[in-house]
Structure 1
Amino acid sequence: MGSKNKLKRFQENETFPNVIQPTREEIVSGFSLKGKWNTHFKNDNPIVLELGCGKGEYTVGLAKRFPNKNFIGIDIKGARFWKGAKTAIEEGLTNVTFVRTQIELVDLVFGEEEVTEIWITFPDPQIKYKRTKHRMTNSEFLKRYKQILTPTGTVNLKTDSEFMHGYTLGLLHGLGLEVLYANHDVYKNEGSPQEVIEIQTFYENQYLEKGKPITFIRFRVN
């Protein structure tokens, strides 16, 4: 993507009513919407996050499927989720918002037990050991998720990485956390949740064309 195109998208994001771009200082010093996201959506519907939402395809897809829930896509790269934000506006989806921030600040953006569900779709598996701290299902991230999730809240991991799938399962079992569902190939096994097989991202389609299996885990951190 050229710099001019990126700049145009950044400028458009500033005009979108469904895009919020707080500074790190605003979040660290006390984010105004923390614990008050119901005032943003003007309802008390459950809040669902997609962390590392990329182009926002899953956030928008889930919002269409579950109109009685509110969906928030989070990514540090605003030029990426511009597409999802624009699509949501064009399709009149009022239950979609995108927040430009770093995922490690998620517990400062949302209040205790404010979120009912988290989706992590096709994250970078960070295979090298020295990159363990950046894996989005490592123990430190799980602690952050626990702070913002309701007691029965769930985390969903959808990935093409067998490494990420295995790493996460091993960690969950080691911590004694509840695994609600786990599948090494969601398109070849019956019983996969419909929202897992019916919503596909651009990159997911590329993986499928190459014959890569798509894995999925649904679990609790409380």
Structure 2
Amino acid sequence: MRQRHKPWADDFLQEHPDTVISNPVSYRGRWKDVFANDAPIHLEIGTGKGQFIVEMAKQYPNINFIGIEVAKSIIVTAAQKVLVSEQLNIRLLHVDAERLTELFAKDELTKICLNFSDPWPKNRHEKRRLTYYTFLDKYKEVLRPNGEIILKTDNMGLFEYSLASFSQNGMRIEEVNLDLHEADDSTNRMTEYEEKFTAKGQPIYRCRITCNHKGNS
């Protein structure tokens, strides 16, 4: 869905550099300094309008959350939610996930959440999928040993592809759920997108992956 242009977005980002970090590469390897504590760091790739990350930050105040979103018109909405929440354990990054290893040092993250990523269904776009092996190599690099990846999607094609990709690239599949809301998991926090499609009866698929094999430095 095309997002409406927000002409005020640049000014907003400049006014809130402590919420949407203006030069995130400079904090590689020292994100704990940004949060001023040693709490685990969880990353959401594709944070959207921010509902998930804000609710998670409220539920787990002893975890630090970083959200990546490439669309400027969307990340400003997420930033507004963060500011209203007054949660101090959230930071946002307006960057592309391709730059993951520029942003985080080896073993710096504890968990990565992939929520409703673009499925890129055409074969010629396979390399853009966030569970393509080149992305998995990046996740291996920045996740600590036994770090986790949580994938949620409403797209069965992407889900099947991702399970195969995780398995083929040395990751351990710990959980596969083919109807998340039928399972009534009280720990689940929904994105805006998830709420919309759950209300229509669309099954939500989730898997939990353990990353045991490290990438190259």
- Identical counterparts, % of pairs: 32
Of residues 70, 90, 99 in structure 2, which corresponds to 1:96?
A: 90
Letter in 1 for 2:187: E
Alpha-carbon offset, residue 204 of structure 1: 1.3
Is the 2:113–2:149 Cα contact (8 Å) retained in structure 1? Answer: yes
SS of the equivalent of 2:52 reads helix
Aligned to 1:202: 192
Is the 1:62–1:195 Cα contact (8 Å) retained in structure 2? Answer: no
Listed as ranges, the gaps of 5+ residues in structure 1 are none
Aligned residues, how many?
209
Aligned to 2:202: 212
The 5-angstrom pairing of residues 170-185 of structure 1 reads 170-185=164-179
Alpha-carbon offset, residue 138 of structure 1: 1.0
Deviates more, 1:10-19 or 1:39-48: 10-19
Listed as ranges, the gaps of 5+ residues in structure 2 are 213-217
Q: Distance in 2 between matches of 1:100 and 1:195?
A: 27
Alpha-carbon offset, residue 189 of structure 1: 2.7
Aligned to 1:20: 21
Cα pair distance change 1:129/1:213, threshold 3 Å: same
Aligned to 1:69: 63
TM-score, normalised relative to structure 1: 0.89
Q: Distance in 1 between matches of 2:139 and 2:169?
A: 14
Of residues 112, 122, 141 in structure 2, which corresponds to 1:118?
A: 112
Is the 1:179–1:217 Cα contact (8 Å) retained in structure 2? Answer: yes
Is the 2:149–2:210 Cα contact (8 Å) retained in structure 1? Answer: yes
Is the 1:119–1:156 Cα contact (8 Å) retained in structure 2? Answer: yes
Letter in 2 for 1:20: I
Is the 2:54–2:85 Cα contact (8 Å) retained in structure 1? Answer: no
Is the 1:21–1:101 Cα contact (8 Å) retained in structure 2? Answer: no
TM-score, normalised relative to structure 2: 0.91
The 5-angstrom pairing of residues 1-222 of structure 1 reads 2-3=4-5, 6-16=6-16, 17-22=18-23, 31-189=25-183, 192=185, 194-196=186-188, 199-222=189-212
Q: Distance in 2 between matches of 1:103 and 1:11?
A: 23
- Consecutive aligned runs of 4 or more in structure 1 exceeding 4 Å deviation: none
Alpha-carbon offset, residue 2 of structure 1: 4.8
Q: Distance in 1 between matches of 2:60 and 2:203?
A: 26
Alpha-carbon offset, residue 216 of structure 1: 0.2
Q: Distance in 1 between matches of 2:183 and 2:70?
A: 34
Letter in 2 for 1:185: D
